[in-house]
Amino acid sequence: MRIPFSKPGTTISNKTGSWKAFRPEIDAKKCVKCAICHNFCPEGIMGNPTKIPEIDFEYCKGCAICEVECPVKAIKMVREPLKEK
């Protein structure tokens, strides 16, 4: 009997879908463009590290690592808006 398993993938092949409950929002006035969020993001969805990051929400899992690691608290996790069915 074979046990089913999923193969690991990359962000490119694994979109988040509709299950994410929270997403990061960046306060541009607080952001010092240190790239810590970019470096710590396990999905690699924080854009250009030399500017205020642009977030690719299609792949963001809402893990909050960026919020925890931000040294100036420029990132806050906010509830994802409910999608109508």
Does the structure show a pLDDT above 80 at 51? yes
Cα 19 off chain centre by: 13
pLDDT for the residue numbered 72: 98
Using CA atoms in the order 63, 57, 78, 75, what is the torsion angle rounded to 10 degrees? 70
- Strand (E) or helix (H) holding 28: none
Which pTM was predicted? 0.75
- 28-40 pLDDT tens trace: 999 999 999 999 9
Q: Any idea which architecture 16-85 has in CATH? A: 2-Layer Sandwich (3.30)
Query: Residue 18's pLDDT band (boundaries 50, 70, 90)?
Result: low
Four-point Cα dihedral 67, 68, 70, 76, nearest 10 = 20
Q: Are 17 and 52 within 8 A, CB to CB?
A: no
- Are 47 and 56 within 8 A, CB to CB? yes
Portion of the chain with pLDDT greater than 90, in percent: 45
Per domain, the residue ranges of the chain are 16-85
Q: Is the pLDDT of residue 16 over 80?
A: no
